[in-house]
Amino acid sequence: MHKNNDTIMPSQLIAQNDHAYVLTFLMSIAMAILLLVALFYRIKKQAAAMAAKRKQQPKLPPGLATMPVVSNMHQMLMNKPVFRWIHRLLDEMDTEILCLRFGRVHVIAVASPEMAREVLRKKDAMLASRPSSFVSRTFSFGYKNTIMSPAGDQWRKMRQVLTSEILSPAMERRMLGRRVEEADHLVNYVYSHCNDGTVDVRHVTRHFCGNIIRKLVFGRRHFNSGDGNIGPGRDEEAHIDALFTALDYHGAFSVSDYFPTLVGLDLDGHEEVVNGLMNTFNRLHDPIIMERIEEWKSLRTKGDKRREVADFLDVLISLEDAQGKPFLSVDEIKAETLEIILATVDNPSNAVEWALAEMVNNPKVMKKAVDELDMVVGRERLVEESDIHNLTYLKACIREAFRLHPYHPFNPPHVAIADTTVAGYMIPKGSHVMLSRIGLGRNPRAWDKPLEFQPERHLKNTGTVVLAEPELRFVSFSAGRRGCPAVSLGTSITMMLFARLLQGFSWSIPPGGDRIELQESATSLQLSKPLLMQAKPRLLLHLYEADVLN
């Protein structure tokens, strides 16, 4: 039998298998090494790219080192009032933009006119929302008004109502008579107190603003009809006190503003105060609002011809949708009513009080303002709104008061709806960007001798002097999507208050003093003490004796 020499012996087969195994093992190791090298190279390349991206990515504005979780919250709690601490940091760090972090929220203060213009012009669309907080939610009846509502359909709806209906030129003309009534009442009221020794200017200015906005909104000066031509009663006093307290608490940097889960614990006592303020507003506003709603409901039910609107409340209630039903809910009417009142009382009264305090310390400025009134208006009649255009120096005085002595240290925060930049700095989504009214108005780059009251600085341009400041070197009515739409009405109220007081009376320092102490309050930007001055009538007697009815 022939024997096959090609037959593979078992030992040879084992050797071949071992060789193949070793070869496969070595190839696997080689492949693994190659993969590890490729992976390492890729990771290194990605790391380099990320490092380069980080290097190119804008940095946050200058700020303080943060702690885990609370960030700078512990420092905020230890430095009251917070607005003074923030402005100290701006000065100490020699910067015009500052970033602090309260919890997860970046809070960015801006004190440069150039940066302010970037915030409200170039980046306006990215910074057009508002933060959520217990205070704003409560005062806005659940974000149903304009100023406090975040960006969205509700804000657009109420903004349209405010600009097209309440603050329309036609409505402003229609309400002229009511504003004149309150300007006449102002002169009559101060005249009746001239012989009492001193006049409390803060009391006068605040209650003028309260009277005029109640007349425009509710059609009445007093909450109880029949009070006649008298000063504020207990309800009006309570109303003004509540309004100014509400304004102060709205920008008070509460812990729960940045840690919303803490709402209800009331760690800083703000919630109790705010709820008490809302009780006051509801007690005083609701009876008028609900009675008027019933009046218009009756008109709609009967199909009677609509009566002409008599005030802002009528406008809000009378608006109808396409089906002829009320356009605004009851809460929207209440929210917008309170917002209009809150937005009217602070800036005019504070600016006029500070302006008079500065001017009585500087007789040359006072004389120049009074001389302008005598030249433009004379002493045979009372100054009217139609004269404001020609009262250039008086407007310069009020501009200077807005610049140097704002009521609020910051504008309401603008919330970034996406990552953006300001002045090359990173502004993360959700940041609260605040314009510093103090930092802008007292910025030494923008103003020569910024701490001095110099109305003449506003007369350098040959154009018409207005109270608005489009270049944002100070803030009067702000700008952009969230700017105040009531520039015309605000100008009229402020200037009539100021001009009537200056035209109607000679103001002087009370006996025993030689100057008014121009000291700010420790907790706010108001005068530390209400301004008390002597007032002496300077016009013909019959101009003080107008029979002003409620």
* Average pLDDT of the residues in 245-270: 94
Instruction: Examine the domain organization and report whether 348 and 453 are in the same domain.
Output: yes
**Predicted pLDDT of residue 56:** 67
Residue 184 lies in a domain: yes
Instruction: Examine the domain organization and report whether 38 and 165 are in the same domain.
Output: no
Q: What is the mean pLDDT of the chain?
A: 91
Instruction: Examine the domain organization and report whether 140 and 50 are in the same domain.
Output: no
Strands 532-537 and 505-508: antiparallel
DSSP secondary structure string for all residues of 402-458: HHH--SSSBPPPEEPSS-EEETTEEE-TT-EEEEBHHHHHT-TTTSSSTTS--GGGG
Q: Which has more confidence, 49 or 520?
A: 520
pTM for the whole structure? 0.89
Is residue 71 predicted with pLDDT exceeding 90? Answer: yes
Residue 37 lies in a domain: yes
Residue 140 lies in a domain: yes
Nearest to 484 by CA among 156, 102, 60, 162: 162
Residue 49 lies in a domain: yes
Instruction: Examine the domain organization and report whether 44 and 140 are in the same domain.
Output: no
**Predicted pLDDT of residue 212:** 98
Instruction: Examine the domain organization and report whether 42 and 179 are in the same domain.
Output: no
What is the rounded CA–CA span in Å between residue 442 and residue 231? 37
Residue 68 lies in a domain: no
Instruction: Examine the domain organization and report whether 140 and 253 are in the same domain.
Output: yes
Is residue 466 predicted with pLDDT exceeding 70? Answer: yes
Instruction: Examine the domain organization and report whether 46 and 143 are in the same domain.
Output: no
Per-residue tokens: 376: 């433009």
Pick the range with the lowest mean pLDDT from 7-21, 94-108, 272-286, 501-515. Answer: 7-21
**Predicted pLDDT of residue 115:** 97
DSSP secondary structure string for all residues of 99-136: EEEETTEEEEEE--HHHHHIIIIITTGGG-B----HHH
**Predicted pLDDT of residue 548:** 46
Domain that holds residue 171: 135-541
Q: Residues at the annotated binding site for heme?
A: 484
What is the rounded CA–CA span in Å between residue 397 and residue 495? 10
**Predicted pLDDT of residue 549:** 44
- pLDDT digit string, tens, across residues 429-456: 999 999 999 999 999 999 999 999 999 9
What is the rounded CA–CA span in Å between residue 433 and residue 127? 8
Instruction: Examine the domain organization and report whether 41 and 184 are in the same domain.
Output: no
Per-residue tokens: 115: 């940066």
Instruction: Examine the domain organization and report whether 184 and 304 are in the same domain.
Output: yes
CB neighbour list of residue 472: distance below 8 Å, 6 or more residues apart: 113, 116, 117, 120, 435, 440, 479
Q: Which has more confidence, 297 or 18?
A: 297
The model's confidence at residue 7, banded by pLDDT at 50, 70 and 90, is low
**Predicted pLDDT of residue 347:** 97
Is residue 276 predicted with pLDDT exceeding 50? Answer: yes
CB neighbour list of residue 488: distance below 8 Å, 6 or more residues apart: 167, 169, 172
Instruction: Examine the domain organization and report whether 193 and 315 are in the same domain.
Output: yes
The model's confidence at residue 228, banded by pLDDT at 50, 70 and 90, is low
- pLDDT digit string, tens, across residues 468-510: 999 999 999 888 888 889 999 999 999 999 999 999 999 999 9
Is residue 243 predicted with pLDDT exceeding 70? Answer: yes
> How many other C-beta atoms are found inside a 10 Å radius of the C-beta of residue 3?
5
What is the rounded CA–CA span in Å between residue 293 and residue 314? 9
- pLDDT digit string, tens, across residues 150-183: 999 999 999 999 999 999 999 999 999 999 999 9
Residue 151 lies in a domain: yes
Instruction: Examine the domain organization and report whether 419 and 520 are in the same domain.
Output: yes
What is the rounded CA–CA span in Å between residue 463 and residue 476? 18
Report percent pLDDT > 90 for the chain.
Answer: 80
Q: Which CATH number does the domain housing residue 412 bear?
A: 1.10.630.10
Strands 414-415 and 432-435: antiparallel
Residue 228 lies in a domain: yes
Give the long-range contacts of residues 277-282, CB within 8 A, separation 24 or more.
277/242, 277/245, 277/246, 277/249, 278/138, 278/139, 280/238, 280/239, 280/242, 281/242, 281/246, 281/338
Burial 465-480 (b: 16+ CB within 10 A, else e): bbbbbeebbbbbbbbb
Q: Which has more confidence, 48 or 75?
A: 75
Domain tally, the chain: 2
DSSP label at residue 12: H
Residue 86 lies in a domain: no
Containing 290, the helix (H) or strand (E) segment is: helix 270-302
* Average pLDDT of the residues in 500-526: 95
What is the rounded CA–CA span in Å between residue 514 and residue 86? 34
What is the rounded CA–CA span in Å between residue 112 and residue 96? 5
The model's confidence at residue 550, banded by pLDDT at 50, 70 and 90, is very low
What is the rounded CA–CA span in Å between residue 266 and residue 256? 8
**Predicted pLDDT of residue 1:** 46
What is the rounded CA–CA span in Å between residue 385 and residue 183? 10
The model's confidence at residue 55, banded by pLDDT at 50, 70 and 90, is low
Is residue 203 predicted with pLDDT exceeding 80? Answer: yes
Contact yes or no for 531/201 (Cβ under 8 A): yes
Q: What's the distance, CA 424 to chain centroid?
A: 25
Instruction: Examine the domain organization and report whether 314 and 439 are in the same domain.
Output: yes
**Predicted pLDDT of residue 205:** 98
Pick the range with the lowest mean pLDDT from 2-6, 288-292, 504-508. Answer: 2-6
The model's confidence at residue 125, banded by pLDDT at 50, 70 and 90, is very high
Residue type, 311: D
Surface-to-core class of residue 545, CB atoms within 10 Å of its CB (0-12 exposed, 13-18 middle, 19+ buried) = exposed
- pLDDT digit string, tens, across residues 76-96: 999 999 999 999 999 999 999
Q: Residues at the annotated binding site?
A: 484
Contact yes or no for 245/67 (Cβ under 8 A): no
Nearest to 105 by CA among 73, 140, 146, 128: 73
Per-residue tokens: 25: 């093992």
